[in-house]
Amino acid sequence: MAKPEIIGSARSTYTRVVRMVCEEKGIDYELTECALGAPELAAIHPLGKMPVLRHGDVKLFESKAIATYLDRIFPGPQLLPSDPRLAALTEQWVSLVNTVIDRTLIRTYLFAYIKAGGAPDRETIEAVMPAVREQLAILDHAVAGTGHLVDDRFTFADINLLPILERIRLAPEGAEALARTGHLAAYFDRHAARPSFAATMPPAGPPGRARPN
Ligand SMILES: N[C@@H](CCC(=O)N[C@@H](CS)C(=O)NCC(=O)O)C(=O)O
């Protein structure tokens, strides 16, 4: 079978989740590193976002769609369960993270550091911190029982969240808020030891150099 090509950036959380799927399943893939606005992205994603996938004749955009495709056509551990209840729970957490939690933690909180270029945007940071804490508390409660978002299985729901938790630790309020959660902090530490997480770690740098995300 042809080798999948993931086009995106090692610094991008959504690119990382797709790479983690490949690592977890033992898929031999290639990362084509590119910047936001690259023509390779616009050729596949109508809004030019990353990641996109090329695999033989298949071209896909949207990380969840790419993950579903890779999970179904490649062997290895199933990351999107087929059992209806577990599949729905996985969708539930992916949807909440992608529509709400990513916006709060990354696009608003972390970007207040990234976009500023120089000094962090303190007004935005202070305004968003109650929502950051509230959403981390929701996740803390969710993983308290089993150490996973979906039953006691490691699924794409966990993969989709872990890169976000790693990024918010780069900025002080995010690191402190996560450390105070208890269950979620332990969940992060435990899953961060997975080889798929280590193999996809973004290049080091302060939050202001974390672009693109
Ligand atoms: N819903 C998309 C979101 C992708 C996304 O927002 N990617 C970021 C990088 S992590 C991006 O391309 N940002 C640039 C932009 O929004 O224009 C997915 O799941 O793939």
Kindly tell me if the per-residue pLDDT of 208 is higher than 70. no
Kindly tell me if the per-residue pLDDT of 34 is higher than 80. yes
Average pLDDT over residues 92-96: 98
What was the pLDDT predicted at 210?
Answer: 44
What percent of the chain has pLDDT above 70? 95
Q: What is the pTM of this model?
A: 0.96
The ligand 1 atom nearest the CA atom of 212: 9
Which range has the worst mean pLDDT, 2-16, 123-137, 196-210? 196-210
Question: For 123-147, what is each residue's pLDDT tens digit?
Answer: 999 999 999 999 999 999 999 999 9
The ligand 1 atom nearest the CA atom of 213: 10
Q: Which residue intervals of 4-62 are DSSP H helices? A: 13-25, 39-42
3-state secondary structure 85-120: HHHHHHHHHHHHHHHHHHHHHHHHHHHHHHCCCCCC
Q: How far is the CA of 145 from the centre of ligand 1 (A)?
A: 31
What was the pLDDT predicted at 206?
Answer: 53
Q: What are the beta bridge partners of residue 31?
A: 6
**Ligand 1 pocket test target in 11, 13, 14 with most atoms within 8 Å of CB:** 14
